[in-house]
């Protein structure tokens, strides 16, 4: 019999291994930046061309490598970090498995320049498809420069699976931020296609957070710092007002390594209980330092998921530390216990008495009567009284209701229901009850409005011009670099649905106009929230960029559950819902209303 099992050639074995380590340009960026950190660099530059598809270059001023080490670094499982198996359980460096450079050399054209301080000359190596094409001495500064060109040039199927440049660039920025956030004492810069995206001076953690996440966090962070024999935790959490409707600025680092952990995220959320809305997420940048023997970081190829020896202790400690920090800075809500709880909930107590309300109240005759000296007994006669024409008011109101009813019946003529009248009942400031000729319908105001807006924005994206309102004074919008990259990508689609936004340089944009549905004064907040929702859009189905944008816009602009509506507003909402092509559900499939028929109601009561 002929033997059929044989060893794979090195270049094929390396390509297979590369599939685990290098999924996209951002994976290579992460590995190269971490190598630079491990080399003891104090300055690290990242240069990107064509979202990493043409070039990824990392230049550092670290220790550099000898001629032999430079060549050995590209061999599989060649590492300076592990000598015996026990070393796996006390890892303090970022990289350790010795796969990164071998994997990169298998799927890209790589050039390396490096020099150690004690050597007069450095080494130059050129590798392609795992084969060394050139190795020679060269003049170079102390440190290392590694360039990888034409990623997946020899695996066209993998290259075809890469997303748009804007999407790949977002992933690169994410990886850059995670490494730069973990090492604030190191200078980092990022240049993309000749444009500077980040220039992060070395400093402390708070300075680095503000450099990356924006100046809005400057006065809105609370310091967390607790130390024990088992573990230390330090960093910052955002004050409750920085909480967002989507998982925004949340960073966990264990021994300076960025990790994803739903378990620890739940611990932080628990510390904010009753301080932020249930559907909001707090912002935080938290570092946990503990003995490497207590964790296993070798459970995932990207090393972003780790296993703790005792998760429960970590969970309790994180939650307690955040709670303590919030309490120390008087963020925890305080109540006046001398007031009855029911009284505290009254609008007169918990809603601010605005200047407009004050003026309206003080200008009334009744107020003047009771505040003038010795006039409390005096009430003006009917001919001067403000309620003199109450009958006229009542009659005109009655006529208005009649005409509104007629108009409403005409507008809802295409509805599957025949409404008995145009008077509606709002329940819990969330549901609208409308009587029909054979029962009633229960409309969810937020979901109904989502459907209405979705159809408006969809129509706009297919050529029906969306009404836009020009800003009297253009609004300036400054974003974090990662969000600026995303917004630039979305500009053409945003213009279709009524936004006119222009780049203004250095991560700044100017909002010239916004859709007519966006409240004036809310344009900036609306864009920031839209970006957040778009970044964290989740669905089992893959949608186009424009479809995702339309769904996010309709969700964001919809009136919310808990908002009080007038009769006119409820009427308009129901009218517009039943003018939709699909009035019974939102774009994501949630019902907008439920129908309760008379015979069903009778059966409920045994009739």
Q: What digits encode the pLDDT tens for the residues 49-61?
A: 999 999 999 999 9
Average pLDDT over residues 314-333: 82
The yes-or-no verdict on residue 442 having pLDDT over 90 is yes
Query: What token pair was written down for 493?
Result: 């689609």
Identify the band that residue 412 occupies on the pLDDT scale cut at 50, 70 and 90.
low
Q: Exposed (0-12), middle (13-18) or buried (19+): which is 381, by Cβ within 10 Å?
A: exposed
The yes-or-no verdict on residue 36 having pLDDT over 90 is yes
* pLDDT one-digit tens code per residue, 576-599: 998 899 899 998 889 999 988 888
What domains can you pick out in the chain, each with its CATH number? 10-203 (3.30.565.10), 207-328 (3.30.230.10), 418-607 (3.30.1370.100)
Average pLDDT over residues 514-530: 79
Distances (CA, A) of 417 to 92, 296, 446, 451, 585: 68, 61, 20, 18, 16
**What's the angle, vertex CA 148, arms to CA 483 and CA 505, rounded to 5?**
30
Specify the pLDDT at position 55: 95
Specify the pLDDT at position 337: 40
Can you say whether residue 65 is alpha, beta or left, with left for phi > 0 and alpha for psi between -120 and 50 degrees?
A: beta
Average pLDDT over residues 421-429: 83
Residues 286 and 253: their CA atoms lie apart, in Å, by 6
Specify the pLDDT at position 357: 52
Beta bridge partners of 500: 513
Instruction: HSE, CB side, 13 Å, CA atoms: give it for residue 344.
Output: 8
The yes-or-no verdict on residue 305 having pLDDT over 70 is no
- Confirm if 180 and 203 have CB atoms less than 8 A apart: no
Residue % of the chain over a pLDDT of 90:
29
- Confirm if 64 and 142 have CB atoms less than 8 A apart: yes
- Confirm if 483 and 244 have CB atoms less than 8 A apart: no
Count of helix runs (H) and strand runs (E) in the chain: 20, 22
E strand residue ranges, 256-372: 257-259, 284-290, 295-296, 307-308
Greater pLDDT, 257 or 464: 257
**What is the per-residue burial (b if ≥16 Cβ within 10 Å, else e) of 358-375?**
eeeeeeeeeeeeeeeeee
| Torsion angle of C-alpha atoms 305, 307, 308, 312, degrees rounded to 10 | 80
Identify the band that residue 531 occupies on the pLDDT scale cut at 50, 70 and 90.
confident
Identify the band that residue 369 occupies on the pLDDT scale cut at 50, 70 and 90.
low
Distances (CA, A) of 558 to 244, 447, 517: 17, 8, 9
Identify the band that residue 377 occupies on the pLDDT scale cut at 50, 70 and 90.
very low
Identify the band that residue 509 occupies on the pLDDT scale cut at 50, 70 and 90.
very high
Identify the band that residue 518 occupies on the pLDDT scale cut at 50, 70 and 90.
confident
pTM of the model: 0.68
Average pLDDT over residues 79-104: 60
Specify the pLDDT at position 133: 93
CA end-to-end distance (rounded Å), the chain: 84
The yes-or-no verdict on residue 92 having pLDDT over 90 is no
Specify the pLDDT at position 334: 43
Identify the band that residue 144 occupies on the pLDDT scale cut at 50, 70 and 90.
very high
What phi, psi does 550 have (nearest 5°)?
-65, -40
* pLDDT one-digit tens code per residue, 554-578: 888 889 888 999 988 998 899 899 8
Specify the pLDDT at position 379: 47
The yes-or-no verdict on residue 261 having pLDDT over 50 is yes
Specify the pLDDT at position 155: 82
The yes-or-no verdict on residue 101 having pLDDT over 60 is yes
Specify the pLDDT at position 405: 53
Residue % of the chain over a pLDDT of 70:
75
Specify the pLDDT at position 115: 94
Residues 441 and 427: their CA atoms lie apart, in Å, by 12
């Amino acid at each position: 019999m002929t033997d059929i099992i044989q060893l794979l050639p090195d270049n094929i074995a390396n390509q297979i291994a590369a599939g685990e380590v290098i999924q996209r340009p951002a994976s290579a960026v992460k590995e190269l930046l971490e190598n630079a950190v491990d080399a003891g660099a104090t300055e690290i530059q990242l240069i990107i061309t064509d979202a990493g598809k043409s070039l990824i270059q990392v230049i550092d001023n670290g220790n550099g490598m000898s001629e032999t080490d430079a060549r050995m670094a590209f061999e599989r499982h060649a590492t300076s970090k592990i000598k015996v198996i026990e070393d796996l359980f006390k890892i303090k460096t970022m990289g350790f498995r010795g796969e990164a450079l071998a994997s990169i050399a298998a799927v890209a054209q790589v050039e390396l320049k490096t020099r150690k301080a004690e050597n007069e000359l450095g080494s130059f190596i050129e590798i392609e498809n795992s084969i060394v094409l050139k190795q020679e001495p060269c003049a170079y500064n102390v440190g290392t420069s590694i360039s990888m060109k034409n990623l997946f040039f020899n695996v066209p199927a993998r290259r075809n699976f890469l997303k748009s440049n804007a999407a790949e660039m977002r992933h690169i920025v994410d990886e850059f931020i995670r490494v730069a956030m973990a090492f604030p004492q190191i200078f980092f810069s990022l240049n993309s296609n000749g444009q500077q995206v980040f220039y992060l001076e070395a400093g402390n953690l708070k300075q680095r957070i503000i450099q990356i996440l924006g100046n809005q966090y400057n006065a809105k962070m609370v310091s967390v710092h607790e130390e024990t024999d088992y573990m230390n935790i330090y960093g910052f959490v955002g004050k409750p007002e920085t909480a967002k409707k989507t998982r925004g600025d949340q960073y966990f680092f264990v021994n300076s390594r960025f990790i994803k952990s739903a378990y620890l995220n739940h611990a932080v959320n628990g510390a904010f209980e009753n301080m932020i809305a249930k559907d909001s997420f707090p912002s935080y940048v938290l570092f946990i330092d503990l003995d490497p023997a207590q964790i296993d970081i070798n459970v995932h190829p990207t090393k972003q998921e780790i296993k703790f020896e005792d998760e429960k202790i970590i969970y309790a400690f994180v939650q307690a530390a955040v709670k303590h920090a919030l309490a120390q800075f008087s963020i925890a809500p305080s109540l006046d216990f001398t007031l009855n709880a029911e009284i505290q909930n009254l609008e007169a107590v918990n809603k601010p008495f605005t200047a407009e309300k004050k003026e309206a109240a003080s200008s009334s005759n009744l107020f003047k009567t009771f505040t003038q000296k010795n006039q409390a007994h005096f009430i003006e006669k009917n001919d001067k009284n403000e309620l003199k024409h109450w009958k006229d008011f009542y009659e005109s109101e009655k006529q208005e209701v009649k005409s509104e009813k007629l108009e409403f019946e005409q507008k809802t003529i295409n509805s599957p229901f025949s409404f008995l009248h145009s008077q509606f009942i709002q329940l819990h400031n969330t549901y609208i009850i409308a009587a029909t000729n054979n029962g009633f319908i229960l409309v969810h105001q937020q979901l109904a409005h989502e459907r209405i807006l979705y159809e408006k924005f969809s129509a706009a994206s297919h050529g029906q011009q969306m009404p836009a309102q020009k800003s009297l004074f253009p609004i300036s919008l400054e974003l974090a670099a990662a969000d600026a990259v995303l917004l630039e990508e979305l500009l053409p689609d945003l213009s279709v649905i009524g936004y006119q936004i222009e780049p203004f340089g250095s991560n700044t944009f100017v909002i010239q106009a916004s859709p007519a549905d966006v409240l004036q004064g809310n344009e900036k907040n609306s864009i920031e929230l839209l970006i957040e929702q778009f970044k964290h859009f989740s669905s089992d189905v893959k949608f186009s960029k424009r479809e995702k944008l339309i769904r996010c816009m309709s969700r964001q602009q919809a009136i919310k559950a808990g908002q009080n509506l007038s009769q006119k507003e409820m009427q308009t909402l129901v009218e517009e819902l039943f003018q939709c092509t699909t009035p019974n559900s939102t774009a994501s499939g949630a019902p907008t209303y439920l129908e309760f028929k008379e015979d069903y109601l009778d059966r409920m009561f045994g009739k």
